[in-house]
Amino acid sequence: SPLARKLCAMPKAELHMHIEGSLEPELIFALAERNGVTLPYPSVDALRDAYAFTDLQSFLDIYYAGASVLLTEQDFYDMTWAYVERAVADHIVHTEIFFDPQTHIARGVPVEVVVNGISRALDDAEARHGLSSRMILCFLRHLSEEDAFATLASAEACFKTVPRLIGVGLDSSEQGNPPEKFARVFARCEALGLRRVAHAGEEGPAQNIRDALDLLHAERIDHGVTAIEDQALLQRLAAEKIALTVCPLSNVKLKVFDDMTAHSLPMLLDAGVAVTLNSDDPAYFGGYLNTNYLAVFEALPLGEETGYLLARNSLEAAFATDEEKARWV
């Protein structure tokens, strides 16, 4: 349809995409073979068949198993380059990539290997495709505060030497691991001059969104879809122009909503919140960014103006320079 074509062709930014979640089953098997890693699945099809999630944790277990094939800088380069080609095809002009160093450090992979592999692919993306980007190091919230501090210390040289590595995030299991657990880590990151985002209000209560703002000084909220439980919070998000990086296909696959027609997106938009659309873990949730746009506009009564609003929100909420932003308008 004409609307679908416009949605796909709009220039947009992606602000919530875990690079380990872009590993397609075929690449997981290719890297396993290259590295001599044995997977607990006999075939690509058997792995894909395991992508029947009941909640966030059931996904995370398989996501960390998939990431176990990543060992060398070239592995991280190849994974990132595969995503870059998808991003360019979806008319993404700027992307901010999350990565989970702790899941790699635990397997003996130094954080420099992770950062350099991703960063080198993003350098090539900028040179060859004009795709600008940033990297955001995410702390795994199911691990301890001490582990997060140790990870930050091991990455300090990377923050100084890799210009596109600009901030930190907080991901993994929201239930039982509230923002307050990482208040001191995020205070240290703020003192280091790092940008801050946090997953909050994905499966957890709206209070986690408040705490991510007040205790972590998060500048954007990843997901935030449970904000609709709290009218005062909705007003605050709108007034303070706190962007939400919403991931529609992810929310349906992880059963946050029964189906796309039940998504809280229209209520967030009605409240005037700066919503953006994102793919989260595109290899696991059924599609990249344009597939998310199409699924939303297929299921919900939203028009072309809303499409442009969502894309404009993503460009405005990016951690990009004014010079970069000027190129997009």
56 touches which of Zn ion, ligand ADE, none (CB within 5 to 8 A by kind)?
ligand ADE
Which residues contribute to the site for ligand ADE (CB under 6 A)? 18, 21, 56, 63, 171-172, 199, 202, 250, 280-281
Closest separation between CB of residue 33 and ligand ADE, Å?
24
> Could you tell me the smallest distance in angstroms from the CB atom of residue 172 to ligand ADE?
5
Angstrom distance (rounded) from CA 199 to CA 169: 7
Question: Which residues are part of a known binding site for substrate?
Answer: 281
Binds 172, which of Zn ion, ligand ADE, none (CB < 5 to 8 A, cut-off by type)?
ligand ADE
Residues with catalytic function: 202
Binding partner at 244 among ligand ADE, Zn ion, none, C-beta below 5 to 8 Å by kind: none
Using the structure block, give the residue that is written with the tokens 């030497």.
161
Task: Tell the smallest beta-carbon distance from residue 328 to ligand ADE (Å).
Answer: 26
State both tokens at 197: 């985002």
Residue nearest to ligand ADE (CB): 171
Nearer to ligand ADE, 18 or 164 (CB): 18
Nearer to ligand ADE, 3 or 207 (CB): 207
- Residues binding Zn ion (CB under 5 A): 280
Q: Which residues make up each annotated binding site for Zn(2+)? A: 16, 18, 199, 280
Residue bearing tokens 């990543």: 70
Q: What angle do CA 39, 63, 185 make, to 5 degrees?
A: 130
Q: Which does 21 bind (CB under 5 to 8 A by kind): ligand ADE, Zn ion, none?
A: ligand ADE
Q: How far is the CB of 117 from Zn ion (least distance, A)?
A: 20
Q: How far apart are CA 308 and CA 311, in angstroms?
A: 5
When the beta carbons of 12 and 18 are compared against ligand ADE, the nearer one is 18
Q: Among residues 66 and 307, whose Cβ is nearest to ligand ADE? A: 66
- The item of Zn ion, ligand ADE, none sharing an interface with residue 80, based on CB under 5 to 8 Å by kind, is none
Nearest approach, Cβ of 232 to ligand ADE (angstroms)?
Answer: 25
* Closer of 14 and 202 to ligand ADE (Cβ): 202
